Amino acid sequence: MSKKNKIRTSPSARTLKAKPILKNLKEYQKLCKKTAQKFRDKEKEILTWGLGIVGEAGDVAGCIKKTFSHKNDQKKGIRENIGDALWYAAMICNYFDWNLDEVLNENIQKLRKRYPKGFTKKDAKRKGIDWNEKK
């Protein structure tokens, strides 16, 4: 390939691994807030974050389908869209004034209780979900 036809990319585009800038998830939530649109209407804000996370999850699914069903490698897209979905998750936590570290720890506690010896199909069979059940 001649120099004339060579595609040029920035140094950051050539580097897959970014220099870590986050110390913890609380700091991540703060940084997400700085990059987020400001809303006067609180209902519109949560609808934006809720629909945004669904859209990004759909993009992850689409990239997985293309990678494995169409043999069109979209792993970079999977990674990028997971990051975008996590951004929306952080913004949902910010909206409700929840600490993302606490949300993730509660999730692990729930899973440890549900699967004390690790995942089994028997433990996975549950009848209905009561989001208000005592834990």
Comparison of pLDDT for 54 and 125, the residue scoring more: 54
Average pLDDT over residues 1-12: 42
Buried residues in 70-91 as b, exposed as e (16+ CB within 10 A): eeeebeebbeebeebbbbbbbb
Higher per-residue confidence, 1 vs 94: 94
Question: pTM of this prediction?
Answer: 0.79
Torsion sign, CA atoms 31, 37, 38, 43: negative
CATH 1.10.287.1080 fits 23-120, yes or no: yes
Q: Kindly report, residue by residue over 43-102, the tens digit of the pLDDT.
A: 999 999 999 999 999 999 999 999 999 999 999 999 999 999 999 999 999 999 999 999
